[in-house]
Amino acid sequence: MRRDEGRECMSSECCSTNDAGDGTMDLLFRPRGVAVIGASSNPGKIGYRIVANMVASGYDGRIVPINPKGGEVDGIPVLKSLADAEGPIDVAVISIPAPLVADTVRSCGEAGVRHLVIVTSGFSEVGNTEDERDIVRVAREYGMRVLGPNIFGVYSAKSAMDATFGPGGIEPGHVAIVTQSGALGIAMIGKTAGESLGLSALVSVGNKSDIDEADLLGYLADDEATRVILLYIEGVKAGDRLVRALRETTRRKHVVVIKSGRSQRGAMAAASHTGSLAGADDVFDDVMRQCGVLRAESVQEAFNWVRFLSSAPLPSGRDAVIITNGGGIGVLATDACEKHDVALFDDQLLLKETFSGVMPDFGSSKNPVDLTGQASADDYRKALDAARVTEGMDATIALYCETGLFNTAGFSALLRETYAQYETEKPIVFSLFGGERVERLIRDVRRDGIPVFGDVYEAVSALGALYSSWNHRRQPADEGARGGEAALDLASVRDVLQKAGATGRGFLLPQEAAVVADVLGLSLPTSRIARTLDDAVRLANEIGYPVVMKIVSKDIIHKSDAGGVAVDLENDNEVVDAYQAILQSCRAAVPDAVIDGVEIVEMVSAGVETIVGARQDGSFGPVVMFGLGGIYVEVMKDVAFRAAPIDEKTANRMIGDIRAYPLLLGVRGESRKDIDSIAAVLVRLSQLIAQCPEITDIEINPLVVYDRGQGVKAVDVRILFSVPKGVK
């Protein structure tokens, strides 16, 4: 039963997320029948546990255990061969040793299976990529999709199917977890069950030989039961697909990510600043923010967020009100709000009007609203209710410090009643701080899904996550991917690359880079190459003083480091001295360098020096970079990244992300710089890097920015590329 037709491609490298939305993914989560290949009656084996979990979870389709020995597993008769199965089998969970998997995949294809869930380890994770590729190839022949290999399985609330070898006990709910880590994923099953956090789906992606996060996002974004998606990612393959899927998904669902590997070790050694500044984790961080994904620092933080996000309504405005019985904890909450970008309601008159009747005279109706240490449950009830019904108070942060006066016994009812009123109307978080009685209370009410935290920072961070996701949804979608296709003269760029590639070079000379700069709408300073001292003086006079001089050699990439640059030369004598000094320093620094001459360049007038770059990132494909430029760029690392292409709005947000942004806004009486011109360069550069994959790195450093309306000037453009195929 081959099904080549109807599916163009199965590979994660080229499938679009739409493939996941064509209904085939639905069968992975709502299969009519599931075969467990390698089902065993031995309770110590994975093949037993999967069948037992499916039975225990109450899977609503047919379970078909397969084992050549026959017999029965957990009361279900075992078939000796898949060919004996009656009725549709949409999913086959494979738990037999690696060398046996390939044959089984073929028999699954013959039996009309649609999805393979391959638990078995021993493939690409241990270097056995060949067998893994073969499996995907055979699966593709039959129109099957592959989850795994090297996974713990899949859970779907939609069909009550726990096809994992986890500890069981998963409760249905609104959080979908997609995890690359098997062990952590299994542990999450126990954790979610312990915390009564309900799941809509749990998917282990393992080696991602075919189905990956992008496919699953395509499905989960449309899944009604799923309100929040939690991704645990170790490494990103085909990141441009992931970016597209995330951009679409976060418009409808909250997405939280935990990513391991924050260290700089993954940073690529590259010949450009853009490369060396692109610590893999920095790019990941910025691209996730661009996509509206919430990145959690720890598993616990991620759990706090998803629990809250899965039940909280979206706010209707940005201002929160803090209600407390203690000044100290109120101040802590205020600090936390600043840290997590939660705005505080600030209409003092309305605050007074709303709360003065529900507190003693010595309380404070300012925000934080301090009900004082003698506040009773009834005072809280009134204050929380007043905040709920008052327009403009968009979210509530309710804080309680244990006091001797307060009857904690009644507090549980207060929390439940208040939460029931807020639940669909306004977001509310609670933070309770105290001894054993308070801890018990927290555990008790959390079980019912009420967002109660022990630590005030945790409570505010969860609310901050909601605001961050809400803010992203309110921003218009980035039109970058759609705009400007025809705007760039790519033919000129390709022509230059081809000609340069024919000489065997992987970088462009200044005159060639000038053509690309022109396509980007940038003019470079006038420049000529001098091959003799007399030439240098003549050309400097032609260009006009002051001038800059730079070494020209393909063997010297970091020119300043080799003493190959001299600036602000104002007359013939200075040019003569600089010419000799440059040659001497460069010969000493790189003795074997072939020196083609010295470039004499028009001196660009001073402004704010920035750096603009773009590259093909190993994980995310085309990315653009913007930062503070000049010689301190690598020390300050004040840069921001975005997946390309981007539109002007995104470019402006990116510019605003750097710490030095106030310099561009104008400090100490200086006027605002031409931010719009930087944004325009970034947009064009993002289109170029996205449409021209031959270019591996572009760096414009510095890009000098002048006052608003005066534009920008590129001082130096460096371009690396891979030689187009077929060009000798």
Q: Check binding of 365 to ligand ACO (CB under 6 A).
A: no
Stretch that binds ligand ACO, among 60-68, 368-376, 528-536, 620-628 (CB under 6 A): 60-68
Concatenating the DSSP letter of every residue in 295-340 gives EPSSHHHHHHHHHHHTTPPPPSSSEEEEEES-HHHHHHHHHHHHHT
Are the CB atoms for 349 and 380 separated by under 8 Å? no
Nearer to ligand ACO, 126 or 420 (CB): 126
User: H or E element: which one contains 118?
Assistant: strand 115-118
- Residue 573's CB: how many other CB atoms inside 10 A? 10
Cα 716 to chain centroid, rounded = 31
Q: Which residue has the tokens 């009643």?
A: 417
Residue 12's nearest CA partner among 210, 226, 158, 207 is 210
Exactly one of 24, 40, 207, 354 binds ligand ACO (CB under 6 A); that residue is 40
Are the CB atoms for 199 and 170 separated by under 8 Å? yes
Please return the burial class of 483, using the count of CB atoms within 10 Å of its CB with bins 0-12, 13-18 and 19+. Answer: middle
Concatenating the DSSP letter of every residue in 552-614 gives E-TT-SSTTTTT-EEEEE-SHHHHHHHHHHHHHHHHHHSTTPPP-EEEEEEPPPP-EEEEEEE
Nearer to ligand ACO, 206 or 480 (CB): 206
Exactly one of 14, 100, 502, 727 binds ligand ACO (CB under 6 A); that residue is 100
Q: Which two tokens stand for residue 539?
A: 């050309």
For residue 80, the minimal CB distance to ligand ACO (Å) is 8
- Spatial neighbors of 502 by CB under 8 A, at least 6 apart, are 727, 728
Nearer to ligand ACO, 78 or 336 (CB): 78
Exactly one of 10, 28, 34, 46 binds ligand ACO (CB under 6 A); that residue is 46
Q: Check binding of 119 to ligand ACO (CB under 6 A).
A: yes
For residue 79, the minimal CB distance to ligand ACO (Å) is 9
Q: Check binding of 151 to ligand ACO (CB under 6 A).
A: yes
Q: Which DSSP category does 707 fall into?
A: B
> What separation in angstroms does the CA of 332 have from each of 61, 296, 435?
52, 21, 19
Nearer to ligand ACO, 206 or 645 (CB): 206
Exactly one of 17, 95, 274, 553 binds ligand ACO (CB under 6 A); that residue is 95
Q: Check binding of 180 to ligand ACO (CB under 6 A).
A: no
Measured from each CB, the residue nearest to ligand ACO is 182
For residue 141, the minimal CB distance to ligand ACO (Å) is 19
Exactly one of 7, 32, 55, 121 binds ligand ACO (CB under 6 A); that residue is 121
Nearer to ligand ACO, 67 or 209 (CB): 67
Prior bond to 149 cis, omega within 30?
yes
- Spatial neighbors of 99 by CB under 8 A, at least 6 apart, are none
Nearer to ligand ACO, 187 or 270 (CB): 187
Q: Check binding of 183 to ligand ACO (CB under 6 A).
A: yes
Q: Check binding of 564 to ligand ACO (CB under 6 A).
A: no
Exactly one of 20, 37, 230, 321 binds ligand ACO (CB under 6 A); that residue is 37
For residue 81, the minimal CB distance to ligand ACO (Å) is 8
Exactly one of 69, 474, 725, 728 binds ligand ACO (CB under 6 A); that residue is 69
Stretch that binds ligand ACO, among 45-53, 265-273, 575-583, 614-622 (CB under 6 A): 45-53
For residue 218, the minimal CB distance to ligand ACO (Å) is 23
Nearer to ligand ACO, 210 or 638 (CB): 210
Q: How far is 91 from 74, CA to CA, in rounded Å?
A: 19
Do the bridges between strand 428-433 and strand 153-156 make them parallel or antiparallel, or are there none, so unpaired?
Answer: unpaired
Residues forming contacts to ligand ACO in the complex (CB under 6 A) are 37-38, 40-42, 45-47, 66-69, 95-97, 100, 104, 119-122, 150-152, 182-183, 186
